[in-house]
Structure 1
Amino acid sequence: MKFKGKSFIAIVLAPEQPFDGWFKELDRIIERSPGFFIDRPIILDVRGSNIPIEDLEHVLDGLGERSIRVMGIDGISGTRLKQGMPPSFGGGRLTAEVDVPEPATQTGKADEAADDDNPQVKEKDVPSSSAASASDTNGHSFAKSLDELERESAKQGDSSIVISDHVRSGQSILHPDGDVTVIGSVSSGAEIIAGGSIHIYGALRGRALAGVAGKDSARIFCTKLDAELVSINGLYKVADDFDGTLRNSPAQIRFENETLVFEGLN
């Protein structure tokens, strides 16, 4: 018998009191992106909360009603869990927080329209509280917010987004509904996560995870391959496993017969 290891990107949810308000925030995310939690590994983080088991049951029931399936609970002893609850889970490594912006206000919409009329006005960082822009360890917001990405996607008329800048270390771009194109490089320590294909018009030094929505036809393209990790539809390879002849060269990566195929681009 052989045992294999496999890495996954999991979403960590940390319930907060009052739970009714927390559930409303989840409902807002689901309303805007119905497939956001579908087929995604979900970890419930209750570290430091000393949550009563009855409250934990209430949280799990509420998540179940929203078709959010929890695979494990971090921060609670397994001896406290009742039969049928997800198992106790630990040992995870923290990454940059992923935020979802607050709903746009009327004033915000007016400001947005003014910005569209004035090309000299740069996009503003949007304060947020849960799923698509990231921060580095110093709290600086780098990734574009989900609202900003959705506005760009709407302008393009499809589900793809274009990032017209370098993606810096600590930054995470998450777009589970389509392709992501980066007009620039992806630095070491940065990551691009896309439901479709990923196009990098520059050096790919960080992590690129394509086809996370279960799309094995997704591909990864870059003008300089120097990635830490690449993945398509959950199948991944790290830098040590790459074809050395393609390092620092234009390349494409595709999924074929349950393996990743690396090819040069002329």
Structure 2
Amino acid sequence: MDTIVLGDVEITRVVELPARGSARRYIFPDVPVEHWETHENWLAPTFLDPAADEVRTMMQTWLIRSQEGRTILIDTGIGNDRERPAMPSFHHLHTHYLDELAAAGVRPQDVDTVICTHVHGDHVGWNTRRTDDGEWRPTFPNAQYVISRADFDYWNPANGHRTRSGPRMANVFEDSVAPVHRSGQTVLWEGDHYDIDAQLRIEPAPGHTPGSSVVWLRSGSDRALFAGDLLHSPLQIVEPDDCPTFDEDEPRARDSRRRVLGEAVDRGALLLPAHFPGPGAVEVRRAGDRFAVKKWAAWR
């Protein structure tokens, strides 16, 4: 299991589904193929399968443990037993995510805080699990679930928003968000930031969803940035204006991506997006009006 230590904080990558390919034209339908061809020499084979014309991604979450004893999850993946008719790869999954957490030494009752970078089906799924009585109940009984108010309101079917994702979000709010809210475990944050503790701060990065956010870690002289779905592929480091089909508001997503990448450079932060396979985390540098890979993470 991949682990890295920054300051007095240990970060562990908890994988729900290993790297796999999805059709490039499905994930990035509006991105010119020339962008992929230009960068194929370093994107392939880890992030791109040119022969199959597929982008390779991974379903993973981040476990944070500090010397003070805090246990925090950033995002919770897809979850098991979900009805996802418009998302076949998420439909009725049976993964070993909780076993992976156990292998990292964490039981559901040990988790203090769950941070949802945004409300999409592959980031909130293990918020809940189906119990023997057929009900969806919080997976982490002692945790606060920190969710942006903007996303909570946007994806709540009661509010009747028309969304770009449409059917892809069927049942997500009902089975993965509403139950933890009914249990009284949600913190719905708003404003320009929300502090989890002295080391972790959530900041808005809207566009992918209205309430999409990033999580900054500061421990000693080390910095890390948990970027959620600000990036789906390393291509977007070098081509930050390229958007996937999943971005609700592409102009805002581009602005957020450029701004946050610049802040990561300025703060010397290790960037941890939600879906990068292989090394999974990266330091970036400026390259004119764009960005480039400076160094991939070294896990142990």
User: If the length of structure 2 is used for normalisation, what is the TM-score?
Assistant: 0.29
> Which structure has more RCO (C-alpha within 8 Å, separation ≥ 6)?
2
Q: TM-score normalized by structure 1?
A: 0.31
